[in-house]
């Protein structure tokens, strides 16, 4: 007998975790002397009730879709890729090199080119940790953390010593040429009569993110490789017995994961900043962990969770603007979501399972 129906596992467990996280966050808001209900209203107003708010929400969500998918693909192979931040950072370098040094005639081509570069650079940054995990048994979590810091140093070096224009103080590259600028939602959906998404950073790469969701769905559940990845994640010994090479799956899963994290750089670097800056990732690589856990490693779940975190991010910015609640509240919520959906999963799940078992029992007794 199954302990819990599938739908409950997919919806109730994350929802209860979210409620717990929200409840605790409300307590935090109360503790610093603000009104949680008013704060929530303000977040909804700022993030969802105006098209420009949506423009920011979707911009953040784009990042989180990519990093959430990255974490979840690795999770399917039971690999914890904590290095999305570094992979996205390094991919930003790839996007910048692509946009600065290749004379693109049109943004569509530039988008294809920079997506390719972002994916390649992101995958490259995941390659060494993947290789070390597969071949030398070094723990992927530790190596990817180390690679986050190394990526930061590499990026710092490139910006300060190579890409920074002469005489400029700020460690940033020059602006990308006009032809590489991606159309924003404002460009795409506004008409002269009804301006929409005014000055919001959401851009065409959101659709790239949606495509990535479909791609990951097909990959994981509709291809042989995806089956092997899941098989490997479920039981390494069984996968080995069935002839799946652990080295191959580890490396391929991490390369896909790195490439997905890297694609985030298209959104931030080419889509929003239009130049390479030091801190363009803003922790999105880590939010991917919360998004993947919350979204139960399913692309559709990841999409919903990414939208939720996009809302939290934009709402949090509004809170910081209008109240005394700092932006860091969102970090706390993120931490609580990771804690409840990830580490305290058993705590949330066990009472639910007991409840469903009791219900099932009563049903059979009633017959």
Partner 1 sequence: MEFLTILQVLDSTMRLATPLLLACLAGLYSERAGIFDIGLEGKMLAAALLSAAVAFSVGNVWIGMLAGIGASLVLSLIHGVASISFRGNQLISGVAINFLASGLTVLIAQDWFAQGGRTPSLVGAARFEPITLPGALTSVREISQAGPVMQIYSELLSGHTVIVYLALLLVPLTWWGLFRTRFGLRLRAVGENPAAVDTAGVSVKGMRFAAVMICGVLCGIAGAYLATALQAQFVKEMTAGRGFIALAALIFAKWRPVQALYACLLFGLLQAIAVRFQSFELGGITIPVQFMEALPYILTVVILAGFVGKAIPPRAGGEPYVKER
The verdict on 162 binding partner 1 (CB under 8 A) reads no
Measure CA 151 to chain center. Answer: 18
| Residue nearer to partner 1 on the CB measure, 133 or 205 | 133
**Shortest distance, position 353 Cβ to partner 1, whole Å:** 14
Among 27, 142, 188, 247, binds partner 1 (CB under 8 A): 142
Residue 94, judged by CB atoms within 10 A of its CB (0-12, 13-18, 19+), counts as: buried
**Shortest distance, position 1 Cβ to partner 1, whole Å:** 21
* Stretch of 6-14, 208-216, 305-313, 327-335 lying at the interface with partner 1 (CB under 8 A): 327-335
Residue 353, judged by CB atoms within 10 A of its CB (0-12, 13-18, 19+), counts as: middle
The verdict on 150 binding partner 1 (CB under 8 A) reads yes
SS3 5: coil
Which contacts qualify for 43-50: CB closer than 8 Å, 24 or more apart? Answer: 43/311, 43/312, 43/314, 43/315, 43/316, 43/318, 43/319, 44/315, 45/318, 46/314, 46/315, 46/317, 46/318, 46/319, 46/321, 46/322, 47/310, 47/311, 47/314, 47/315, 47/318, 48/311
Residues in the chain: 367
The verdict on 70 binding partner 1 (CB under 8 A) reads no
| Residue nearer to partner 1 on the CB measure, 32 or 49 | 32
Measure the CA–CA gap between 66 and 141, rounded to whole angstroms.
Answer: 19
The verdict on 154 binding partner 1 (CB under 8 A) reads yes
**Shortest distance, position 152 Cβ to partner 1, whole Å:** 8
| Residue nearer to partner 1 on the CB measure, 117 or 340 | 340
The verdict on 32 binding partner 1 (CB under 8 A) reads yes
The verdict on 107 binding partner 1 (CB under 8 A) reads no
Q: Which residues bind partner 1 (CB under 8 A)?
A: 28, 31-33, 80, 82, 128, 132, 136-139, 141-143, 145-147, 149-150, 152-154, 156-157, 160-161, 286, 289, 293, 324-326, 328-336, 338-339, 342-347
């Amino acid at each position: 007998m199954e302990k819990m129906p599938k739908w409950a596992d997919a919806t109730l467990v994350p929802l209860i975790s979210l409620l717990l996280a929200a409840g605790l966050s409300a307590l935090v808001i109360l503790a610093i002397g603000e009104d949680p209900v008013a704060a929530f209203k303000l977040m909804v107003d700022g993030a969802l009730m105006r098209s420009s708010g949506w423009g920011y929400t979707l911009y953040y969500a784009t990042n989180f879709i990519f990093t959430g998918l990255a974490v979840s693909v690795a999770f399917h192979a039971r690999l914890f890729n904590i290095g999305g931040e570094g992979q996205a950072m390094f991919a930003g370098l790839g996007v910048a090199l692509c946009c600065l040094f290749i004379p693109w005639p049109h943004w569509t081509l530039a988008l294809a080119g920079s997506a390719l570069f972002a994916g390649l650079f992101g995958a490259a940054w995941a390659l060494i940790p993947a290789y070390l995990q597969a071949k030398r048994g070094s723990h992927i979590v530790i190596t990817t953390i180390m690679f986050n810091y190394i990526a930061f140093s590499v990026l710092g070096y490139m910006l300060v010593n190579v890409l920074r224009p002469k005489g400029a103080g700020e460690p940033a590259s020059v602006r990308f040429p006009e032809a590489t600028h991606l159309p924003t939602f404002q460009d795409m959906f506004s008409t002269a009569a009804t301006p929409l998404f005014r000055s919001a950073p959401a851009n065409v790469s959101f659709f790239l993110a949606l495509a990535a969701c479909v791609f990951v769905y097909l990959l994981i559940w509709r291809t042989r490789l995806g089956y092997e990845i899941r098989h490997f994640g479920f039981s390494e010994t069984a996968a080995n017995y069935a002839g799946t090479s652990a080295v191959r799956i580890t490396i391929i899963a991490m390369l896909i994961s790195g490439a997905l994290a890297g694609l985030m750089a298209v959104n931030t670097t080419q889509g929003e900043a239009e130049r390479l800056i030091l801190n363009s990732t803003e922790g999105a690589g880590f939010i991917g962990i919360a998004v993947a856990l919350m979204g139960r490693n399913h692309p559709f779940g990841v999409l919903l969770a990414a939208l939720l975190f996009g809302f939290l991010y934009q709402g949090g910015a509004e809170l910081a603007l209008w109240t005394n609640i700092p932006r860091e509240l969102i970090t706390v919520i993120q931490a609580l979501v990771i804690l409840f959906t990830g580490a305290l999963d058993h705590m949330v799940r066990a009472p639910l399972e007991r409840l469903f078992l009791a219900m099932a029992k009563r049903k059979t007794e009633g017959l």
